Amino acid sequence: MKAVRPSDARRGFSLIELLMVLSITGILIAIAATQIGRQLSRDRVLRAATMVQGVLVEASQLAVRRRTPMRVVLAGSSVQVRQRAGDTLVRQWRFDAASDVQATLAFTPATGITIFPNGRADTTLAVVLTSATGRATVTRSATGIVRRQ
C-alpha cells in the first residue's frame, strides 16, 4: 500500500471555504449594485439639467435668429419653446418615462419666461429637476446668463 503524504491529502478547497467565499462575494455585489443604481439616478438628473441648460441657450438663439420673442414654458413633462406671437410651437423636449432623460421639472415662475431678440428676458427663470436620489437647478437670468447648480 502506498503511504499518503500530508501535502497530497489536501489538494482542493473544502465546502465551507467555498461557501464563505461565495457569501462574501454576494454581499459585495449587493452593496455595489445599490451604489450603481443611486449613481445612475443622479446621472439622469444631471443629464436632464444639461439638456434644460441647452434648451434655454437654444431659445435665446432662436429669438435672435427669427427676430421675434420666444416663450419657454413647461407643459406637463415637456419643455416647449413657442413664438410669443401666435403661440406657435417651435421646439419641444420631453422629460417623462418614455424619454431617455427622466426627471421631474418645476419652473419658477410657473408661467415660464419670454426671451426677446436682444437676448434679454422678462424675468429670471429657475428650473428645479428632481428624481429619487438627485436634484439639480438651472437658472437663466434676465440678462441671459444660464447656470447649472
Count of the separate structural domains present in the chain: 1
Q: Could you tell me if 130 and 49 are in contact, meaning their C-beta atoms sit under 8 angstroms apart?
A: no
First vs last Cα of the chain: how many Å apart? 79
Q: Which pLDDT belongs to residue 95?
A: 84
- The proportion of the chain whose per-residue pLDDT surpasses 90, expressed as a percent, equals 58
Which residues sit opposite 108 in a β-bridge?
126
Task: Give domain status of residue 23, yes or no.
Answer: yes
Task: Give domain status of residue 45, yes or no.
Answer: yes
The CATH number of the domain holding residue 35 is 3.55.40.10
Which residues sit opposite 137 in a β-bridge?
128
Q: Which pLDDT belongs to residue 120?
A: 94
Task: Give domain status of residue 101, yes or no.
Answer: yes
Task: Give domain status of residue 3, yes or no.
Answer: no
Task: Give domain status of residue 35, yes or no.
Answer: yes
Q: Which three cell numbers stand for residue 118?
A: 436682444
Task: Give domain status of residue 19, yes or no.
Answer: yes
Give the pairing of strands 113-115 and 104-108: unpaired
* Window from 1-5, 69-73, 86-90, 119-123 with minimum mean pLDDT: 1-5
Give the global pTM: 0.76
Mean pLDDT for all residues in the chain: 88
Structural domain harbouring 103: 14-148
Task: Give domain status of residue 2, yes or no.
Answer: no
Task: Give domain status of residue 6, yes or no.
Answer: no
pLDDT tens readout for residues 104-146: 889 999 999 999 999 999 999 999 998 877 889 999 999 999 9
Q: Report the run of H or E that residue 141 belongs to, with start and end.
A: none
Handedness of CA 46, 110, 80, 64 (dihedral sign): negative
